[in-house]
Each structure stands twice: as C-alpha cells, then as structure tokens.
Amino acid sequence: QNHLRHVESLSTLPSGAGKIPHLNAVILGEALASEENDLVFPSQEFSSQALVSSPAQYLEMYKKSILDPSGFWSEIASEFYWEKKWPQQQVYTENLDVRKGDIKIEWFKGGMTNICYNALDRNIDAGNGDKIAMYWEGNELNHDGSLTYTQLLHKVCQLANYLKDIGVSKGDAVVIYLPMLMELPIAMLACARIGAIHSVVFAGFSADSLSQRIVDCKPKAVITCNAVRRGSKVIQLKDIVDAALIDSAKNGFSVGVVLNYENESAMKRECTKWTEGRDVWWQDTVPKYPTICDVVWVDAEDPLFLLYTSGSTGKPKGVLHTTGGYMIYTATTFKYAFDYKSSDIYWCTADCGWITGHSYVTYGPLLNGATVVVFEGAPNYPNASRCWDIVDKYKVSLFYTAPTLVRSLMRDGDEAIYIVDRSLITDILHLQFVTRYSRKSLRVLGSVGEPINPSAWRWFFNVVGDSRCPISDTWWQTETGGFMITPLPGAWPQKPGSATFPFFGVLPVIVDEKGTEIDGECSGYLCVKNSWPGAFRTLYGDHDRYETTYFKPFPGYYFTGDGCSRDKDGYHWLTGRVDDVINVSGHRIGTAEVESALVSHPQCAEAAVVGVEHEVKGQGIYAFVTLVEGVPYSEELKKSLTLAVRKQIGAFAAPDKIHWAPGLPKTRSGKIMRRILRKIASRQLDELGDTSTLADPCVVEQLIALSDQES
C-alpha cells in the first residue's frame, strides 16, 4: 500500500472544474488555457467516451497493476495471440537490486509468440484486412500512397522470404538504414516475422556512426535506399552506407548483402554507385517472393531489436528489447495514452530511427489495428503549414509530436502574413499557417522527447487543438520501451508542462543524492522501483555497463538519468537530464561523443561540450575548444571542426556555437568543471559560484573575455 501514496493525491482532485472556486481551471473546449489556469479539465463529453474516464477508475486499475502485476498484465496479454502460453505460475522474474545479484528482468518467459503476427495476421483475422494500415505522405505535396493491412502483410512476407533466402535466420541481426518510406516499418516487421533482430539506424547518422553500429552488432544484411529528399535537399544514403562498409571492413567486419530500395523520386538507379555481388535492388528481387511467409515463433524473451542510444561515454549503447513484454507494453500504452478508438487516424511525426518510431509509429499502433500516417518529409516543407495540411488531408485524430516542432511552428506563427489591400479594406488575404486549416478531426495531441514548456503547451492546446484536445505529454525513454509517466486524457486534469502520473504498472520514485526516497512535494533524481513489461533487458554485449549505468547509481532502483519534481497534487514535472547527455530537438546526444569527434580534428587539443538553452531546439550544443599550440583561431577552422562532428556523428549533432578556449577550467585533479562552462555558455556570469578550487582560476576570466570579444 505504501507504494501507492504518490498517486493517492489524485483521489482528492475534484472531477469537475466548476466545483472548485479556489482553482483557476478551464474545461476542454470551453476556454483558452492561459497563464492563470493551472489545471485543464477534460470535458464531460470527452471523459464519458474515454477508456479511463475518472481519477477513481485510474486509481482502481493502477492499484491492481501494482498490487498484482502478474494478474494485471496476464489479463492484457491474453488478448494477444500466443502459440504457447507463458507459465501461469511465473509471469515475470525481476531483480533490480545490484546488491542481490545480477540484474534480471523477464516477462512471459516460456511463452511463444510473434509480434509481426500479432500486428498484422491477428488484425486481418479479426476482419480488418481491408482497413488502411498506413497512409504514406511523401516529401513533395501530392506524392502519397497507402497500404491496407492485407497489402502490408503481403509486402512484409515477401521481404521476410527474401531475407530467409539470403540466409537470415532467427537471432541474426539486420541493420536498417532507411528514411521514412513505408519500406522502413515493412523491414522491421519482416525481421520480426522471422525472429531476426532489427537494428534501425536513423538515416541522419553519418557513415562513421553507421559503421560503429555495424561493427558492434554484425548484421547479416543492411537494408537501405539509394537516396532521399528531405525538404529541398537530396541525401545520397547509399553513398553513406558504402563508406560505412569500407570502414567496418577495416575494423574486421564485412557485410554480405546490401538491399537497396530505389527511391526513384530522389535519384534514378543509373546514378547509383554499385558493388556487384553485394548490392541488390529491392524492386528487382523482393516482389518475386511469395506473399505468404510462415511465422517463426519466438520466446517472449527472445530479442526483438537493438537500438543504439547515446550515453555519457563516447560509445553508443545498444539498448536491447525483447518480444513479449515489449509487445504488450507498447500496445497498452498506445491504447490508453491516446484513448485510442478504432476509427482514429493516428500520426506520429517521429522517425523510425528513434525509439518513438519503433514503439509509436510501428508496433504500438499496428498492434491495435490502427491506421497510421507515415510521413517522409520535413514538417516545415514547403512551409510551416505542412503539418495541418496533412492533418486535414487524412483527417488525423491523434497527433503525436515533439516540443521542438511545436516551438518552431509556434515561432513561424499561427497567423503569419496578412496582406491588406488598403483600397479594398474588406479584402484581406489570410495566409495563416495553422488557422486556415480546419483541424476539426483532431481529438488528442501528444508530446514527447523533452519537457514541453508551458507556453508551447498552451499554443499547442489553444491554437492547434482549438482548446478542444487534451495533450498527452508522455515521458519515457529508449530504455523504457514505452510510456512511463503520461496523462490518460479523459481521466484527470492536466497541468501545462507536467507529464502527470505513472502509467499502469510503473512505480516511479524520486530519490536524493544518497538514494533515499523522498516524498510529498520534492525534487530529486527520478528512479523506478519495479520492472514493467517494456523495460530493456540489457545493453547488447555489455551487461556490466547496463548494471553500472542504470542500476548502480542508486542501488535497488532503475535510474533514469532525469531530474524530476513532484508538486503538492502529486503531479510529476520532468526537469531534464542530470548526466552528460544533452537533448537537442528531442535527440539524445552524449557530450562525450561530440567531444571525441572534435578532438579527432588534428588541430584540436581539447574540447568540452555543454548544453545551453535554445529557443527552438530546447537545448543547443555549445563547445569550448582548445587548439593545438600555435594554431590561430579562424572562422575556417570553426567550419572544419563542425564538419568533423557532422562526419563522425551526423548533421544533427553539429555544435551551435564554438567558443575558443585558451584553457578549460579544471579541478586540481584534472576534472573539467562543466558547471562553470554551463554558466559561461548561458552568460550567467554572476552565478559562476566558487572558482577557488580550480587549478588555474585565470582560465575563467580568459574564457569570459573571449566570449565578450566574439559577441
């Protein structure tokens, strides 16, 4: 019972705003959310149709999920197809306490299933074969397509048969390096169908990063396409793969097959560089295979995929998710956090190269039999109204995106240009980016990737959703597989900027530096006390690092790396990373990775990277760079340092600012004092704090003087 205290406060929340005179509250659809409103209530109309319609209903379900996890999750898992059921007496095994031995998390072990079967065949068998599984919207306007569940299954089976034919079997890795074509989720599902482990690498990563991942997971094949158009740019992906494979061969691993999708609208095949014997055109080969492919049944604990993510050291971590628990968890979180109904049209703007695209473009929605919009392009191309054009075109009802996009569209304005012809006063040409679109189909909005600042929340709520749609601000991580702290849109009032309460089965705790749980209104480190089905099971090939990074900092808990505070009503407010990871436009970037890319430049002696507040991206990358003795500062050199980062990681990790540093502030033991660098980067010069422990306090003055000169 003690475990439940952090949600209990929900029961004291009133169920209707009208009844509480001391609160400044609004009800969905009735007024704009303003700075004075600290609570936004679901309307009666919304709640009455919602899957979870009141705090009381949530509390009852939540209590059950915590007090009887086996019963709670077994009941849900039974709605899916299992070739063989898991042993009833042992639904899960967990040890999250390093003091008690190896960390171990297993759910439904011994049960045999297949996630592709559950996402496709099961929905088709239920009569949804002709339902649209995916709408595809290309980069260019009017370039689109769609697949029904049956058509999608056929495409997945053809690819699965091809993969089998080239020798990919259960447990083999396949690297997927594709943009947001339908072929990306198709490739993921095809791997899953035959028990192969997919490892999607975001197609914005450089050849060096791709090679590093290839060498780590040693795939049987790489699936890519020749080129992609993003906005007005063409990016030749196959060239990047070629370079990565030359590099990986040097590091002792050669890939036998590269399957290339010809993305004709971006590049003709005649222009594509080709390696005979290794490269294969998708369109020439895959469609020749049968559209039926037997499922390979796998144990619930067999790996489903690897996804590399940034940590506090230079080497990316291969987060490993297994099949059964991940399946149940992504399906259930999707259903409840978006209050999913079978008539919904769902669009998530994330790329499948990140976890959001795994759990909430591909698996979660398809497991629910949903219709998903897959968008290839850039959300502000050809202009800032593209998203709302897509919303109206497909009648999107659930729209899930990142705060960085909300902020950038907010900056472009909802009412961008008014051209007033003064001779005809009444003739006003409105070119409003948002408001000229209907958006009537929207029902629930979602946010992910970083904390959403209240002003962006309000703009999203008031302007995009016409103050009619609740916002699910979903807090979770690559490691967690699915939502951990999230609103259930019909159940309780929202507070702009708060991810609210834990999802079923999740026990978040806030601990102090000593690892002691703190209660009531408090701030500290966010940990989780129990396992949940979607949790990652290890870091690929490095269980030690898994334990050290996540379970040793606060013994007995999974440590998230995030700071969090809880307010008097029990709402959770995520405050950002507390480790050396920065969050740029919702992308996790390890400062160490950027530093190591900078230092690889022959003229760079040392580098220290910190995150700095950025109006649109949330955080920007600010790099302090010390040059090799005698090398003069120049703009050219800044460019070439930036290029080194683009080359080693990818364009998205390029520093926003390079600050020349004759020296870096270090302690006497040689540790860089990032706290001071953060203050200098954000120009909070009167908050530098105690600099007396520095080996050479003059360094700080030099740094400030240099930044003054530059600005």
Residue of the chain from 562, 569, 580, 593 that contacts ligand 6R9 (CB under 6 A): 562
Residues 495-524 that bind ligand 6R9 (CB under 6 A): 499
- Give CA angle at 394 (392, 395), nearest 5°: 60
Residue 445 is a binding residue for ligand 6R9 (CB under 6 A) = no
Is the Cβ of residue 138 or residue 534 nearer to ligand 6R9 in the bound state? 534
Beta strand 233-235 pairing with 221-225: unpaired
Binding mask 341-380 for ligand 6R9 (x = CB under 6 A): -------------xxx------------------------
The span from the CA of 319 to the CA of 458, in Å, is: 34
Residues 42-101 that bind ligand 6R9 (CB under 6 A): none
Is the Cβ of residue 337 or residue 374 nearer to ligand 6R9 in the bound state? 337
- 463 CB contacts (<8 Å, ≥6 apart)? 410, 414, 434, 435
Q: How far apart are the first and last CA of the chain?
A: 57
Binding mask 396-435 for ligand 6R9 (x = CB under 6 A): ----------------------------------------
Residue 223 is a binding residue for ligand 6R9 (CB under 6 A) = no
Residue 451 is a binding residue for ligand 6R9 (CB under 6 A) = yes
Task: Give yes or no: 294 in active site.
Answer: no
Q: How far is the CB of 269 from ligand 6R9 (least distance, A)?
A: 34
Is the Cβ of residue 206 or residue 359 nearer to ligand 6R9 in the bound state? 359
Q: Which two tokens stand for residue 681?
A: 């980067």
* Per-position b or e across 406-429, b if 16+ CB within 10 A of its CB: bbbbbeeebebeeeeeeeeeeeee
Residue of the chain from 62, 336, 460, 475 that contacts ligand 6R9 (CB under 6 A): 475
Q: How far is the CB of 601 from ligand 6R9 (least distance, A)?
A: 27
Beta strand 112-113 pairing with 298-299: antiparallel
Say if CB 635 and CB 625 are below 8 A apart.
Answer: no
Binding mask 173-202 for ligand 6R9 (x = CB under 6 A): ------------------------------
Residue of the chain from 407, 537, 566, 577 that contacts ligand 6R9 (CB under 6 A): 577
Q: Which two tokens stand for residue 411?
A: 């900056």
| Element housing 64 (H / E) | helix 55-67
Q: How far is the CB of 346 from ligand 6R9 (least distance, A)?
A: 17
Write the burial class of residue 483 (CB in 10 Å: 0-12 exposed, 13-18 middle, 19+ buried).
buried
Residue ranges in 361-519 assigned as alpha helix (H): 364-367, 386-394, 403-412, 454-459
Residues 255-314 that bind ligand 6R9 (CB under 6 A): 309
Q: Which two tokens stand for residue 521?
A: 């209104």
The one catalytic residue among 412, 567, 579, 656: 579
Is the Cβ of residue 474 or residue 596 nearer to ligand 6R9 in the bound state? 474
> Quick one: which segment of 94-102, 370-378, 476-484, 541-549 binds ligand 6R9 (CB under 6 A)?
476-484
Query: For residues 653, 659, 662 and 668, what is the CA-based torsion angle, rounded to 10 degrees?
Result: -60
Beta strand 581-584 pairing with 587-590: antiparallel
Q: How far is the CB of 615 from ligand 6R9 (least distance, A)?
A: 17
Is the Cβ of residue 356 or residue 368 nearer to ligand 6R9 in the bound state? 356
Residue 450 is a binding residue for ligand 6R9 (CB under 6 A) = yes
Q: How far is the CB of 686 from ligand 6R9 (least distance, A)?
A: 28
- 27: nearest Cα among 46, 7, 43: 43
Which residue is associated with the tokens 């659809």?
29
Which residue is associated with the tokens 């033991």?
669
> Quick one: which segment of 271-279, 285-293, 411-419, 472-480 binds ligand 6R9 (CB under 6 A)?
472-480
* Per-position b or e across 115-131, b if 16+ CB within 10 A of its CB: bbbbbbbbbbeeebbeb
Is the Cβ of residue 295 or residue 581 nearer to ligand 6R9 in the bound state? 581
Q: How far is the CB of 436 from ligand 6R9 (least distance, A)?
A: 29
Residue 477 is a binding residue for ligand 6R9 (CB under 6 A) = yes
Instruction: Give the count of residues interacting with ligand 6R9 (CB under 6 A).
Output: 25
Provide φ and ψ at 578, rounded to 5°. Answer: -110, 5
Is the Cβ of residue 138 or residue 586 nearer to ligand 6R9 in the bound state? 586
Neighbouring CB atoms inside 10 A of 517's CB total 17
Residue 617 is a binding residue for ligand 6R9 (CB under 6 A) = no
Is the Cβ of residue 80 or residue 476 nearer to ligand 6R9 in the bound state? 476
Residue of the chain from 473, 580, 593, 595 that contacts ligand 6R9 (CB under 6 A): 473
> Quick one: which segment of 246-254, 329-337, 444-452, 703-711 binds ligand 6R9 (CB under 6 A)?
444-452
Gyration radius of the chain's alpha carbons: 25
Number of H helices and E strands in the chain, helices first, is 22, 35
Catalogue the active-site residues: 579
Query: Given the rule CB under 6 A, which residues bind ligand 6R9?
Result: 309, 354-356, 447-451, 473-478, 499, 560-562, 574, 576-577, 583, 586, 588
